Structure 1
Amino acid sequence: MPKYAYFPGCVAQGACRELYQSTEALAAALGIELVELKKAACCGSGTFKEESQLLEDTVNARNIALAEELNLPLLTHCSTCQGVIGHVDERLKDQKNNDPSYLDRVNGLLAKEHCSPYRGTTEVKHLLWALVADYGLEAISKRVRRQLSGLKCAAFYGCYLLRAQTHLPYDDPHNPQSMENLFETLGATPVRYRGRTQCCGWPLSSYATDQSFKMAGTHIQEALDAGADCMVTPCPLCHLNLDSRQPEVEKVIQQPLGLPVLHLPQLVGLALGIEPQKLGLERHIVSTQPVLTKLGF
């Protein structure tokens, strides 16, 4: 069965602890082995390069090197981490071929901290890609214990997962289908709407809060208008803006929403027969009970 060097990131170990919990439960149910990278550092969420591209590259070269030590691909369940670390991996592999002196500089900094060098021998893979490309939809379908029949799910891909890297071998960055294909494998009905591949607004939230919340509110309302029972996202930062801040979003746009927002492994976990409490569904700000009721819990 698949085995990965697991990079959980910061948010899943703090504000979205249910993502960490549900990922471990899902991996156990599918027989996926996760070797957690306990010594890994925050990817920087794209902010390190505002100070120094070299800083972002070096910090994340170290994260990738930790996976390389294990001869395993690096797995993350955070789209932002995927975008940042995946982009660094892509850049450094390109530098290795075209400007090895830059990679020597990065590895020189790692050597000063007694860290293993970056070699460019592995890949960075989001949980979504691991499920659809490595494990496979057919294999997942054989593990389904509770068909999600009648549940209308709106995928929210966001931006980092799709467009941070130059090459995306697992999906079309402008018209992705992998989450919708996964929903159908689980028995759910995909709901398509305009904003599913746009930014959630999180990056603006600290300095342009109203604009951030208007973006989030627009996406949520579009999903509701399309008939969605829930929104599903592969990014905990998107989840914070769409779920945790949904009551504040409602105040800014001056209309009620009330759309449950699930993490990707929570939805898959429900279909595999994992109990809701083991997936942390009670931790959400917007109640997930309407989803559970529709599924017969």
Structure 2
Amino acid sequence: MLRYAYFPGCVAQGACRELYMSTAVLTQALGIELVELKKAACCGSGTYKEDSQLLEDTVNARNIALAESLNLPLLTHCSTCQGVIGHVDERLKEAKENNPAYLEQVNEFLAKEHCSPYRGTSQVKHLLWALVGDYGLERLQERVTKKLSGLNCAAFYGCYLLRAQKSIPFDNPFQPESMENVFRTLGANPIYYRGRTQCCGWPLSSYATTQAFKMAGAHIQEAIEAGADCMVTPCPLCHLNLDSRQPEVEKVIGKKLGLPVLHLPQLVALAVGIEPEKLGLNRHVVSTKPVLEKLGF
């Protein structure tokens, strides 16, 4: 059995509860054990370092140390969390070798809060990498009970998953195929379009809302024009901008879109025979009914 220390992140536990639900249901069905890190803190989604790099490193060193105390890799289903925590892990592992005084400073802050020290013994791994690399596509294919035949899926990787770290496993950060390979494994058709590896616009949305919505609208339009029935993202923040805010995006670009956006675990869960109502698909802002009807639900 695969076992991970689970870092669910903030958005999936709050604004998009269906993403938290679907990850829990999928991993349970696949026999993957998640030990949730209840004491973990928000990764900061890239904002802490605007004030202090030491702050970002200390907060996330603590998150990683919680996983290390369980002797487990840290698993997240959020691209942003993966990018931030994964990059901190890279930086602190380098510090362990080349700048031990900096790591000691980080661990001194952790000690003041009675936290375990960061040791650099764990891995930070997104659910996508766990499915592709640890669980394996062959094994996943064996679990498929309802092939997603005829469903055209447009991956939206976003930027944090691919390029926040110096290196990523199992894929090319500029020409990725991991999600498309998962789609093929489930029987779905991958749709390629220009914006699939670009930013969704979420980081801009608090201070340049119009520009953020234009970015999101451009990606959604491209996916629709390429023949997509749905967009699939491994990131709750991308999900917020592409699904929850799609009606606002439509107003900004002056065009009706209506493209369903699924979280990666929701899509995989449908293929392994989990009922849609257990995945929170009725909670989406853009109706997922066209997807379910096409699949015969």
Q: 2:266 is aligned with what amino acid?
A: Q
Letter in 2 for 1:24: A
Within the alignment, does 1:80 sit opposite 2:80 as a pair? Answer: yes
Task: Determine if contact 2:129/2:169 at 8 Å carries over to the other structure.
Answer: no
TM alignment of 1:130-149, pairs within 5 A = 130-149=130-149
**1:36-185 to 2 correspondences below 5 Å:** 36-185=36-185
Q: How many Å separate the matches in 2 of 1:49 and 1:256?
A: 37
Q: CA–CA distance in 2 between the matches of 1:38 and 1:235?
A: 20
Give the corresponding residue for 2:213: 213
Structure 1 CA distance for aligned equivalents of residues 13 and 228 of structure 2: 28
Residue 18 (structure 1) shift? 0.5
CA distance in 1: counterparts of 2:243 and 2:113, whole angstroms: 39
Once residues 210 and 11 of structure 2 are traced to their aligned partners in structure 1, the CA distance between those partners, rounded to angstroms, is 22
Structure 2 SS opposite 1:232: strand
Distance across 2 between alignment mates of 1:145 and 1:168: 30
Unaligned runs of 5+ in 1: none
Matches for 1:137-286 after TM superposition, within 5 Å: 137-286=137-286
| DSSP 3-state at the match of 2:75 | strand
Partner Cα separation in structure 1 for residue 149 and residue 221 of structure 2: 23
**Does structure 1 retain, via aligned residues, the 8 Å contact 2:152–2:228?**
yes
Partners of 1:209 and 1:86 lie apart in 2 by 28
Deviations 1:122-157 (A, max 9, x none): 100000000000000000000001000000000000
Using the alignment, how far apart are the partners of 1:57 and 1:222 within structure 2? 37
CA drift at 1:99: 0.5
**Helix, strand or coil at the partner of 2:143:** coil
Count the aligned residue pairs.
Answer: 297
Task: For residue 92 of structure 1, give the secondary structure of its aligned residue in structure 2.
Answer: helix
Counterpart-to-counterpart distance in 2, 1:206 and 1:58: 25
Q: TM-score, normalization: structure 2?
A: 1.00
The CA distance in 2 between the partners of 1:49 and 1:237, in whole Å, is: 18
Task: State how far apart, in whole Å, the 2-side matches of 1:286 and 1:108 are.
Answer: 47
Distance 2:167 2:233 in 1: 21
The secondary structure found in structure 2 opposite 1:231 is strand
Output the CA distance in 2 between the equivalents of 1:292 and 1:114.
49
1:235-278 C-alpha deviation (Å, 9 max, x unpaired): 00000000000001001000100000000000000000000010
Aligned-partner residue type, residue 270 of structure 2: L
Shift of 1:101: 0.5
Amino acid at match of 1:157: Y
Aligned to 2:262, what secondary structure does the other structure show? strand
Extract structure 1 runs of 4+ deviating beyond 6 A: none
What do residues 45-65 of structure 1 show as CA deviations (whole Å, max 9, x unaligned)?
A: 000001100000000000000
Say whether 1:31 aligns with 2:43: no
**In structure 2, what residue type is equivalent to 1:60?**
N
Aligned to 1:293: 293
Tell me, in whole angstroms, the C-alpha distance in 2 between the residues paired with 1:240 and 1:169: 26
Q: State the alpha-carbon separation in 1 of the partners of residues 245 and 2 from structure 2.
A: 35
Gaps of 5+ in 2: none
Cα-Cα RMSD: 0.4
